[in-house]
Structure 1
Amino acid sequence: MTTAELGRLVGYSTQQVRDLERLGIIPSAERASNGYRRYRHPHLVALRAYRGLAAALGPVPARRLMPALIDAAVDDAAERLDRLHADIADERSRVKEALRALAAAVEESVDVFRDADAMSIGELAQALDVRASALRHWEREGLLHPLRSAASSSRSYGARAITEARIVAALRAGGYGIPSIVRVLDQLRGQALTGDAQRILSDRLADLTRRSIALLAAAGDLHELLELSPRMLETGGETRLDA
């Protein structure tokens, strides 16, 4: 196949195929006597496998992974793919747990709150199963605003601060960074406390499901890639990926 023919089969431009070859995403092509590249079936398999991984993981992680899949022993490559599925499953569990924690925060936020129910930093850290240093960090980042005692400078967390701390903990468990959480809390303050937070966690869950399905869709090409690898290395013939 020429560069253009290979690209058409996968939906990439000629330049994209050349760039992916340069990055080691697909093996180097043979060169005809006129200097033109010539690709064979293993190159097509590798390109399809990359396309499937890019749909599941994003282009940048897929670019990092593909050279390792091509060069690694089959056992190592299979382990890397297993880890991708496991990572998605782990993140899905964290997001679901974050949604449950958020639901609990919502339910408790409507309860009558007495001053005596305010928490110290240690009590709140224990209730959220986080370190007190995490609460102090969230405060420095503007996520939490506990009351401070003028006499002792000790922190006291009332109803609003407790609910916001639970939302922060839930979003952090769901994989969100500080800047994203700052934006969410800014939107939520003065409004209903949970609508946007629940939506972004639900969106994250939907994206994980999409990635999981995309990874399954890529399985056929990844399977063929792994099956080709040992034959390509053993025969030294037309099926070598590194020909």
Structure 2
Amino acid sequence: MNTYKTAEIAHRIGIHPNTVRLYEELGLIPRAKRASNGYRVFTDFHLEQIKFARTAMEVEIIQSGLRRKAIEIIKSSTAGDFDRALALTNDYLLQIEKEITSAEEAISIVERLLSGRELELQPKAKADQLCLTRQETADRLQITMDALRNWEMNGLLTVKRKQNGYRVYTAEDLQRLIVIRSLRSANYSLAAILRMLRALYSDPEANLREVIDTPGEDDDIVSVCDKLLTSLQAAETNALQMLVQLGQMKKRFGSNPTL
């Protein structure tokens, strides 16, 4: 098996030597043996393991514990337990596929709501007169009061007030809240939902999938980083590549990759 110094392995992969050391400290690659002069000695397995870790961590997906699962996969491979790493990766891929389905379904629900194809909350005559308190609204939608407050504080909903200062929620507010709830349940961020709502206000015929997944040039960094569907699809592609890499490492390095 070939051996490499820290700078050599970093050069082959195209990263800084400090990144190699960081991967070692985090347990994403095995501890390197030391030469008589104290220098670290890396092997072909270290080289392939770094490539694998970079594939697994390329897409920043933190929801539903996906990031944690990716790290668990990397560490299983680091330990040479390729069978466990493969099993975990298959589970990881399955969860990503479920997240994609959930995100797509949420968009479909919103499209039906906004096109009027969903059932009305109330008969028309009563809907115009609907006036609920915050607690009644939360109970009606089966969400928490804190969620309502959070959505309002982040600009997703502006609620009218009575003369006594109490908030009142109308049928139109409830319809908007159902949209927000549907998207939040699929892990769309508040920034992405706000972007979609603003776009629909300007253009009711806007393409929801494009709007919610495409931050504007003036959006802040949190919003720019939020491209849920794009990120999930990229993570799915990477998970498939991880299966290929793990299969190759298992075949090449067997049960004692660091020897």
Closer, same or farther in 2 for the Cα pair 1:117/1:26, shift >3 Å? same
> Can you list the C-alpha shifts for 1:104-150, whole angstroms capped at 9, x where unaligned?
122129x9x945225576997798x6446555764576544455677
How far residue 5 of structure 1 moved from its aligned partner, in angstroms, is 1.9
Corresponding residue number in structure 2 for 1:210:
234
Please, which of 132, 139, 157 is the counterpart of residue 170 of structure 2? 157
Q: Secondary structure at the match of 1:19?
A: helix
**Contact 2:137–2:169 (CA under 8 A) maintained in structure 1:** no
The letter of the residue matching 1:61 is R
The letter of the residue matching 2:90 is D
Corresponding residue number in structure 2 for 1:199:
210
Corresponding residue number in structure 1 for 2:101:
93
**Contact 2:100–2:229 (CA under 8 A) maintained in structure 1:** yes
How far residue 42 of structure 1 moved from its aligned partner, in angstroms, is 1.3
CA distance in 1, matches of 2:175, 2:87: 41
Q: Secondary structure at the match of 2:36?
A: coil
Please, which of 13, 18, 37 is the counterpart of residue 40 of structure 2? 37
Q: Does 1:168 align with 2:174?
A: no
The letter of the residue matching 1:158 is A
Q: Does 1:117 align with 2:127?
A: yes
Q: Does 1:224 align with 2:248?
A: yes
Corresponding residue number in structure 2 for 1:236:
none
**Contact 1:53–1:215 (CA under 8 A) maintained in structure 2:** yes
How far residue 96 of structure 1 moved from its aligned partner, in angstroms, is 0.7
CA distance in 2, matches of 1:178, 1:147: 21
Query: Superposed, which structure 2 residues align to 1:62-141 within 5 Å?
Result: 64-65=71-72, 66-71=74-79, 73-108=81-116, 114-118=124-128, 130-131=142-143, 133=145, 135=148, 138=151
CA distance in 2, matches of 1:115, 1:144: 23
Closer, same or farther in 2 for the Cα pair 1:227/1:194, shift >3 Å? farther
How far residue 47 of structure 1 moved from its aligned partner, in angstroms, is 0.9
Closer, same or farther in 2 for the Cα pair 1:132/1:9, shift >3 Å? closer
CA distance in 2, matches of 1:84, 1:230: 23
Overall identity of the aligned pairs, in %: 21
How far residue 64 of structure 1 moved from its aligned partner, in angstroms, is 3.4
Closer, same or farther in 2 for the Cα pair 1:135/1:36, shift >3 Å? closer
Instruction: State TM-score, norm by structure 1.
Output: 0.72
CA distance in 2, matches of 1:50, 1:226: 15
How far residue 79 of structure 1 moved from its aligned partner, in angstroms, is 3.1
**Contact 2:81–2:255 (CA under 8 A) maintained in structure 1:** no
Q: Secondary structure at the match of 2:255?
A: helix
Instruction: State TM-score, norm by structure 2.
Output: 0.68
How far residue 74 of structure 1 moved from its aligned partner, in angstroms, is 4.5
- The count of corresponding residues between Structure 1 and Structure 2 is 230
Give the gaps of 5 or more residues in structure 2.
214-226
Q: Does 1:20 align with 2:20?
A: no
CA distance in 1, matches of 2:179, 2:126: 22
Give the alignment's Cα RMSD to 1 decimal: 3.9
More divergent stretch after superposition (197-206 vs 9-18) = 197-206
Q: Secondary structure at the match of 1:12?
A: coil
Task: Specify which structure has the bigger relative contact order, considering alpha-carbon pairs within 8 angstroms and separated by 6 or more residues.
Answer: 1
Closer, same or farther in 2 for the Cα pair 1:123/1:106, shift >3 Å? farther
